[in-house]
Structure 1
Amino acid sequence: MSPGRTLTCALASLVLLSACGTASEAPTNSADPFLVAIDHEFGTTTIEERPERIVTLGVTDADVVLALGVVPVGNTGFAFFETGLGPWTDDLVEGAELTHIGSDSEPNIEQIATLAPDLIIGVSAGFDASVYESLSQIAPVVARPAGVAAYTVPREDATELIATALGKPDEGAALNEATDELLAETRAAHPEFAGRTGAAVLPYEGKYGAFLAGDARGQFLVSLGFEIPEAITAQDTGESFFVEISPEEVDMLDGNVLLVLGDDEDFDVTEDSPVFDTLDVVGADAIVSTALDQRGAITYNSVLSIPYAIDRLVPRISEALA
């Protein structure tokens, strides 16, 4: 078993206690000790029974549910993976019957109803109020926190919210704590990351998307001790999770390391863009191109995928800096 798989299983095994609770917890009924009320973008949802059949509509929500010891009866996910679930979940879903739901923002309502869920989780989903109302006719629905843009709920908050909905707040806190400790240990083991600059970039349609620190992909580098180049952060208007960069502006990507998000570790982002040749990061041979699973791991940015990403990408980043 690889170190990453070991860390993933260790995090997933933190099933310590079961108790209901949240910042907006409803009074406990002696006849039914499970009663939780959760405030979110579309109102307040009361969960009156401990959920067993859970549909996860948020693209990363299934990771948290799996880490808490429950296999969703239906799930969405990013398009990197056929089932919507990354390879870091393989041990946790082995042998289980899975149902993939094609969209988090416009889901198939009839498909979800057929799954007969007793809880629908859409913390990292993009559905609107009308979809929420339709889903609520099927089962209680937990959406993202009020005032938070779709797909931008921080990992810590998403884990806490989902754990509360499942009646496992202590386990959610333990998962967050273990992930924070792992990141701290990684930074301590790699002091060469501290204060260095690094950008995570996705080539697309002849342009480049450089991810900001508020996005999971930028956050991965920041969590390791890197700083996003100032040329990128200076373009942050607060209205997007990335900065669009034209081929003529690739100097904005310059720094100590460049993480190129793609499907192939051998991909050469400089091949069709001679402008890259002027960058210090290119001269230092400090470009790291991801494989699809690595790209997916930092995009999910969950308590399960972070150990996987650390195991597979941190050694490569360290080597690139060396």
Structure 2
Amino acid sequence: MSVEHTFGTATIPAKPQRVVVLGVTDVDTVLALGTTPVATTGYAFFPDRLGPWAEALVTGDKPEVLQSDSEPNLEQVAALAPDLIVGVSAGFDDGVYAQLSQIAPVVARPAGVAAYTASRNDATRLIAKAMGEVDRAEELIATADAAFDAAVEANPRFAGATATAVLPYQNQYGAYLSGDARGQVLDQLGFELPAEIAALDKGDSFFVPVSSERVDLLDGDVVVMLTDEASRAQVEGDKILAGLPVAKRGAIVQPDIDLRGAMTYNTVLSAPYAVEQLTPLLAEALGR
């Protein structure tokens, strides 16, 4: 099996049995396709990197959590003796890719796509091709898309309303763009980015920084504020944010950790969970 991606072509001689996941959300897709990885990385929402939507699919031992900062630990990866390395939602460059390819076939993000911006469906199909599960991928995609379609049909007010998923950090804000997983969730529910934020999208990143002085750029029908304990104080103490119309209407939504994780992963496993949990919050916010 040959799989093309941004760094070249991966040749996979047989159905993989020992999969190492380097993409921050790819563990969901590998599990959904019927394989428990031997190791994974991922966002730190969950200690084992597995959301509540994924845990039941693990067979045997849970995946080992890799030691990973900005780049993968090559020695640790090699010691796991993988027959496939999945890094579709990873940010490594061609130099690291070349080193990883000495260990096992590597599947990275699609060509022409910025790091961390591969769509849910493109990522699913790419990983499924590498794992010989193309038909199963289409079933999973259809199920996830159907969850969005049902939510849109039940909530016609979503269509054309403006919303931004926002991460508060270091006394500023990161506005996630439509190429990012969190932005894709809102986009598929029918929401649009506020025009001022959309105009900042140059196609080379998954978010744009917004200073606390220009937090007015985030104003819209809804803001989905992805706070944690550390950043909640920033939001609650921001007087400029509190003065925005969206705040005065009570239309700033703050998801819990599981929903934050589901939006951030936005995989064929987490997307239905995200839709189920997020839809009533958005509907309530728009009703105010």
1:6 aligns to what? none
Give, in angstroms, the shift of residue 159 of structure 1.
0.2
Offset of 1:268 from its aligned partner?
A: 6.9
Structure 1: where are the runs of 5+ without partners? 1-35
Give the structure 2 partner of residue 283 of structure 1: 248
From 208, 218, 222, give the equivalent of 2:183. Answer: 218
Check if 1:146 corresponds to 2:111. Answer: yes
2:213 is matched with: 248
- The code of the aligned residue for 1:52 comes to Q
Which of 55, 72, 90 aligns to 1:107? It is 72
Structure 2-normalised TM-score?
A: 0.93
Q: Secondary structure at the match of 1:163?
A: helix
**Cα 1:70–1:104 shift into 2, 3 Å:** farther
- Measured at CA, do residues 146 and 286 of structure 1 come closer, stay the same or move farther in structure 2, by a change above 3 Å? same
| 1:85, distance to aligned residue in structure 2 (A) | 2.0
1:199 corresponds in structure 2 to: 164
| 2:24 pairs with 1:59 | yes
Once the two structures are superposed, residues 214-244 of structure 1 have per-residue CA deviations (whole angstroms, 9 ceiling, x without a partner) of 1111121111111111121122222322222
AA in 2 matched with 1:134:
Q
Partner of residue 159, structure 1: 124
C-alpha contact (below 8 Å) 2:177/2:207 kept by paired residues: yes
Contact 1:59 1:104 in 2 (8 A): no
Shift of 1:42: 2.1
1:267·1:289 contact (CA, 8 Å) conserved in 2?
no
CA contact (8 A) 1:121 1:142 kept: yes
- Does the 8 A contact of 1:64 with 1:162 survive in 2? yes
User: Which residue does 2:281 correspond to in 1?
Assistant: 316
Structure 2 distance, partners of 1:276, 1:43, is 45
Task: Give the conservation status (yes or no) of the 8 Å contact 2:114–2:205.
Answer: no
What does residue 46 of structure 2 align with? 81
- Say which of 90, 101, 104 aligns to 1:136: 101
- Which whole-Å CA distance do the structure 2 matches of 1:69 and 1:268 have between them? 41
How many equivalent pairs are there?
A: 286
**Partner residue of 1:262?**
227
Structure 2: distance between partners of 1:227 and 1:161? 27
Give the alignment's Cα RMSD to 1 decimal: 1.9
The alignment-based identity, stated in percent, is 55
Unpaired segments ≥5 residues, structure 2: none
Residues 156/104 of structure 1: CA separation in 2 closer, same or farther (3 Å cut): farther
Query: What are the Cα deviations for residues 79-105 of structure 1, in whole angstroms up to 9, with x where unaligned?
Result: 222222222211112652321112275
| 2:22–2:86 contact (8 Å) kept in structure 1 | yes
How many Å separate the matches in 2 of 1:77 and 1:151?
Answer: 12
Measure, in 2, the Cα distance between the counterparts of 1:276 and 1:133: 45
CA distance in 1, matches of 2:146, 2:51: 22
Does residue 97 (structure 1) correspond to residue 62 (structure 2)? The answer is yes
Q: Secondary structure at the match of 1:88?
A: coil
Separation of aligned partners in 2, 1:239 and 1:43: 20
